[in-house]
Amino acid sequence: MVQLSSRRHGFTFVELQVVIAVLAVLVALLLPAVQQTRAAARRLQCQDHLHNIAIAMYDYESVYKTFPPGWVNQVDGHSNFAWGRSLLPFVEQAPLYELIRDDDPLPKQLLDPQKLRGMQTQLDIYRCPNDPSTPLNRINLPTDSNGQTHELALTNYVGNHGGGDWADPPRGYTGIFAMNSRTRIRDITDGTSNTVMCGERSLEAVAGRPKSTCGASVMLTVGGDGEGTIERFALAIGSAGINSAEQLDGQELGVCSEGQSSAHAGGTQVALSDGKVSFLSEEIDPVLLRNLMDRGDGNPVRVP
């Protein structure tokens, strides 16, 4: 007669602890790799958005023989429509463009509930998925005809106004976009591969630096209530640097609210005027950055 063993097979408590410890080590090793993979994927998606915006700029140029104006000055010193609206038909957003394309200035259109909802609609192509900000820009607030401010759709992309300070035609902006600008390809005398067209700006966090409010950008507009620099709603200047953590004249906004910034570690991405997307280090030489943002200063430097 065969006697069956009453011994049970399974993990002892010590063995179970060893298995748990091994799994914990594996998770600890894999988690950073997973996070890095996700960050790289978001960065590539952001790069793709910048590239598509550059293509849309050229589509606009092929129709109108000029790049879109930085913004159209319908109300002096106040809220106006910017290049983001001009580009809507060329980024597959014709219905939104038709909704807000009439000649009424932005402050008047903000009084229309249907148009306001349209201007609060987030568009993926205008957002960098690496910036964990809200759909609406709560920092840069355009103003309607009654003096009421509104949160409109946020974008992480700003046009290049030039390497120096703010200047409007005919005083001589040096980038691609300004008030009522009509920059042509032939105006980029330093070469399209040597000149920035547009870049990134985060809402608040600057990767690897102390928290600084950068304000991102407003998808379709510039301007507020006539105070301060209205251009920064949609444009950037090279003199403000990249990922700057400095404060701007003691205000809540940092210097980065006039420059470029991102949630990518170490710098920001830009679309050059030939459509190529490159990464600029936050440690870039300030003179080199200004040269890259000036379309015709006689210093045709290349992205390092």
Residues 116-132: tens digit of each pLDDT: 999 999 999 999 988 87
Beta strand 235-237 with 157-162 is parallel
Q: What's the token pair of residue 44?
A: 């590539």
Residues 252-286: tens digit of each pLDDT: 778 889 999 998 888 999 999 999 999 999 999 99
In Å, what is the CA distance from 82 to each residue of 58, 61, 155, 209? 17, 16, 12, 30
Q: State which H helix or E strand residue 57 sits in.
A: helix 13-64
Give me the pLDDT at residue 169, please.
62
Residue 115 makes CB contacts below 8 A (sequence gap 6+) with 99, 100, 109
**Ordered per-residue pLDDT tens for the chain, 304 residues:** 545 555 555 567 676 777 777 777 776 666 665 556 666 676 788 999 999 999 999 999 999 999 999 999 888 878 899 999 999 999 999 999 999 998 899 999 999 999 999 999 999 999 998 887 889 999 899 999 998 999 999 999 999 999 998 876 655 789 999 999 999 999 999 999 999 999 999 987 665 555 678 889 999 999 876 666 789 999 999 999 998 878 766 667 788 899 999 988 889 999 999 999 999 999 999 999 999 999 998 888 888 7
pTM of the complete model: 0.84
Give me the pLDDT at residue 227, please.
61
Give me the pLDDT at residue 134, please.
86
Strands (E), the chain: 80-81, 154-155, 157-162, 196-200, 217-218, 221-222, 235-237, 267-272, 277-281
In Å, what is the CA distance from 44 to each residue of 7, 38, 177, 219, 300? 57, 10, 25, 21, 27
DSSP-derived secondary structure for 149-166: B---BEESEEEEEESSS-
Q: What's the token pair of residue 90?
A: 């060329």
Contact 300, 191 (CB under 8 A): yes
CA distance 18 to 27: 14
Give me the pLDDT at residue 60, please.
97
Give me the pLDDT at residue 223, please.
84
